[in-house]
Structure 1
Amino acid sequence: MTTAFSPFQLGDVTLRNRIVMAPMTRTRADATDGTPTELMAEYYSQRASAGLIVTEGVQPSVVGQGYPFTPGLHTQEQVAAWRKVTDRVHAAGGRIFAQLMHTGRIGHPSLLPDGLIPVGASAVAAQTRVFTPSGLQDCVTPKELSEAEILDTIDDFATAARHAIEAGFDGVELHGANGYLLHQFLAPSSNRRTDGWGGSLEGRLRLTVETVRAVAEAVGGQRTALRISPGNPFNDISEDDLETTYGALVEAINPFGLAYLHIAETGGRSLTNLLRKAFDGTFVLNPNTPGRPTGVEELELLEDGTADLLSYGVLFLANPDLPARLADGGPFNTPDPDTFYGRDAAGYTDYPSKS
């Protein structure tokens, strides 16, 4: 598997291999101000042998937070704290992008300052529950964003991207997947608007396209990436005509010269192959492997050209030295789901490396 462990040029950044650590929420940020902690710096630096690390979702604004103990990039205190993370990763020879994630209607007023409620494309509540400091709670009906508020949200993403570069990140990945805000605008089940930000396919694409444009203008296309998950029903999303929707989205973002497009594969490989062919740049795949984590078997997707880079989630969570373990064919530490989300080192920084 020479391709998987060979260097790869991602824009101006040289990756040591083609193995990507996928973004995974871990809820270890400071509870009061959303700053990353020393424990988080240790966690990411342990995994710096990845060709590229993509962080957990980072909220670009106060109202973009949908879970407790998640980090932000909208204050100077958060920028300074993230700099400690990126410095540690770079000192270990790694590369790291920040994933910017606005959760939209997925959230709860108890997670926000007084007077704020979650926002969305339309006033349609997600039929799901979210974690809060007092336990699982139903999602509330979100506030439908006005056009002025949509433009402010786009600006929040661009500002957070500038903050990410100031904090030492090599780039940013916009989270357009998993039923969060950008995905909520893409999907007709959550976007019931009849103005220029909904209704037609062009209208539903508009927020994602304009956010990508704004961030690429703010920090450069080669420092900007997008993650999508076509057809993923997570967080009460329903989509149809995926080839048309996502084919049009890829066509619309191609001119921005992005660092990469990251596909969290939910459906069949045929759609993945269509989007791979349509996208002009680097193609990152988090393959669909029902019932098990992505493993050694998927390395062949790099060899046969299905993807340029391959992202690993749960297996990277439990194996800080995952590229070396993949190269050796294992063995692999077993992930402990009970510690995926937490406040301490257990199941976070205490998984052993082979050496």
Structure 2
Amino acid sequence: MDKKFEPLFEKVTLPNKVELRNKLVLAPLTHASSNDDGTISDAEIDYIKKRSKDVGLAISAASNVADIGKAFPGQPSVAHDSNLDGLKRLAEAMKQNGATAIVQIHHGGAQSMPYLTPNEDVVAPSPITLHGDRAHSPSYEKEEHHAREMTQEEIEHTIKAFGEATRRVIEAGFDGVEIHGANHYLIQQFVSPYYNRRDDAWGENRLKFPMKVVDEVINTVKAHADEHFIVGYRFSPEEAESPGITMEITEELVKNLIEKPLDFLHVSLMKVHSKTREGKYQGEERIKLLHQWIDGRMPLIGIGSIFTAEDALEAIESGNVDLIALGREILLDHHFIHKIQNDKADNILSEFDPDRDDKHDLPPKLWEQFNKGLYPLPRTDRR
């Protein structure tokens, strides 16, 4: 291996003393490949095994904690004890070659799709109608749908659902969970003034819901796992909506999160060096601000348009991320890390090629989404 890439392969110790073998992370990628009932499929096992084999930390696809929170077709479920057998197979596959394996626990909220939820019921912090161009489902549904306001009882039940999902993840043999507080899904919706217009305690303090979820998950871990079980939190730092989440709101969120016994924070970005849109931090790199606010309390995972070995190295050497997640790139080439380690970085596949016979070893449904252009990424047929 070229010595310049050695920083990518330094070990990282989390606050709970778990050691990750390198600084490379499998991002929690939607694969659209679970069975219709949310149980784990053979295609999903094959997919995740290939992409977990070389990373230090592997994060599963967003897994819904409640049937009413299902946001896209082929989404895995952690909502029922009946999911456990498949989850055990998934944990074994992800850990087979030495990766630390965790599950991203998720609720779609307003982004849940009516045709996937019981009685086509969709809930959110406040009533809202989402149009086709507002839906963040990777299947890119074009029909608008309405979400009703959650009741107090439903909010409390949902918080407990995150705890129950965590218990199942522990029983399945995973090493941890990542709480999905990003990408316009339920937890982020409670933080957002765009989605959360409530006039009760859940609206007066928009950080109340995410903090309650964090507490519920941590208490579940204390009751059912040992001190080495990992708990992380993912968030999106800004919203394009107005009024939406700003970097000032995210600063408050981060400063609350670092007071919790979490093991990492994970920022969701399309470009790792993207800059703040507006406000007092306008023009500053989001990742740099976040790293300053975290102040060494826990590692920060960065992500966003990492398509080459040089991209990954530059992100780590910037000093503003402690771990770098591989998203679209590790879908294109699951040998990405192996090639860096074996002096073949120049042979990394960094473009989608619709004519490849192996179809990038993607599950059929995910390959179809790539081929339709539903994800922004370099392509050989659009140079």
Question: So what's the TM-score if we normalise by structure 1?
Answer: 0.86
Equivalent in 313, 335, 348 of residue 299 of structure 1:
313
State the 1:135 CA deviation: 8.7
In structure 2, relative to structure 1, the CA distance for the partners of 1:127 and 1:294 (3 Å cut) is farther
Read off the aligned partner of 2:299 and give its amino acid letter. T
C-alpha separation in 2, matches of 1:59 and 1:146 = 19
Equivalent in 226, 234, 246 of residue 227 of structure 1:
234
Q: Secondary structure at the match of 2:233?
A: strand
1:55 equivalent to 2:60? Answer: yes
Match of 1:332 in 2: 348
Read off the aligned partner of 1:312 and give its amino acid letter. L
Which of 45-54 and 331-340 deviates more? 331-340
In structure 2, relative to structure 1, the CA distance for the partners of 1:294 and 1:337 (3 Å cut) is farther
Q: Secondary structure at the match of 1:330?
A: helix
C-alpha separation in 2, matches of 1:131 and 1:76 = 28
1:126 equivalent to 2:119? Answer: no
Match of 1:353 in 2: none
Match of 2:170 in 1: 165
Q: Secondary structure at the match of 2:88?
A: helix
Read off the aligned partner of 1:121 and give its amino acid letter. P
Match of 1:4 in 2: 8
State the 1:326 CA deviation: 3.8
Number of aligned positions between the proteins = 336
**Contact preservation (8 Å) 2:25, 2:56:** yes
Match of 1:275 in 2: 290
State the 1:107 CA deviation: 2.6
**Contact preservation (8 Å) 1:119, 1:145:** yes
1:253 equivalent to 2:268? Answer: no
Match of 1:344 in 2: 364
Which of 268-277 and 255-264 deviates more? 268-277
**Contact preservation (8 Å) 1:131, 1:137:** no
C-alpha separation in 2, matches of 1:196 and 1:69 = 35
**Contact preservation (8 Å) 1:41, 1:88:** yes
- Give CA deviations for 1:192-214 in whole Å, capped at 9, x if unaligned: 11111114xxx111111111111
1:182 equivalent to 2:172? Answer: no
C-alpha separation in 1, matches of 2:24 and 2:150 = 38
C-alpha separation in 2, matches of 1:198 and 1:186 = 9
**Contact preservation (8 Å) 1:59, 1:102:** yes
Read off the aligned partner of 1:344 and give its amino acid letter. P
Match of 1:75 in 2: 80
C-alpha separation in 1, matches of 2:245 and 2:72 = 31
* The structure with more helix, counted as a fraction of residues: 2
Which of 142-151 and 324-333 deviates more? 324-333
Q: After the TM superposition, which segments of 4 or more aligned residues of structure 1 sit over 6 Å from their partners?
A: 337-340
In structure 2, relative to structure 1, the CA distance for the partners of 1:241 and 1:34 (3 Å cut) is closer
Unaligned 5+ residue runs, structure 1? 349-355
In structure 2, relative to structure 1, the CA distance for the partners of 1:238 and 1:216 (3 Å cut) is farther
Read off the aligned partner of 2:346 and give its amino acid letter. G
Unaligned 5+ residue runs, structure 2? 276-283, 369-383
Match of 1:45 in 2: 49
Equivalent in 90, 101, 105 of residue 85 of structure 1:
90
CA RMSD of aligned residues (A): 2.8
